[in-house]
Amino acid sequence: QKEVEQDPGPLSVPEGAIVSLNCTYSNSAFQYFMWYRQYSRKGPELLMYTYSSGNKEDGRFTAQVDKSSKYISLFIRDSQPSDSATYLCAMSAFRGTSYDKVIFGPGTSLSVIP
């Protein structure tokens, strides 16, 4: 079993739809959770990060973490064609004095159709 699993898609939605992207993980030590967006032929860029369980909102984006279920989500409201990209979840475990290396999921490809 991989440490972080993510539905690869591709996911295709009409403009204005609400998008739900999800990841599951197996390591209960993960405490720092991130979502990255990667456009074609570009490096990943950090969208949001959050610690432990709960919700965090930033504009049209909401990150949700459920540690009891080992499940994280990213919601995109009012999706736009410019949101078309691959979305990567990533997480890290705390190792005493600092966080361990970042583990990425395989990514979900999203297309928002005008």
Partner 1 sequence: DAGVTQSPTHLIKTRGQHVTLRCSPISGHKSVSWYQQVLGQGPQFIFQYYEKEERGRGNFPDRFSARQFPNYSSELNVNALLLGDSALYLCASSLGEVGGTDTQYFGPGTRLTVL
Q: How far apart are CB 35 and partner 1 at their closest, in Å?
A: 12
**Please, which of residues 20-79 interact with partner 1 by CB under 8 A?**
32, 41-46, 49
Stretch that binds partner 1, among 55-63, 66-74, 77-85, 87-95 (CB under 8 A): 87-95
Q: How far apart are CB 82 and partner 1 at their closest, in Å?
A: 18
What contacts 24+ positions apart, CB below 8 Å, involve 16-20?
16/78, 16/79, 17/79, 17/112, 18/75, 18/76, 18/77, 18/78, 18/79, 19/75, 19/76, 19/79, 19/83, 19/110, 19/112, 20/73, 20/74, 20/75
Q: How far apart are CB 33 and partner 1 at their closest, in Å?
A: 11
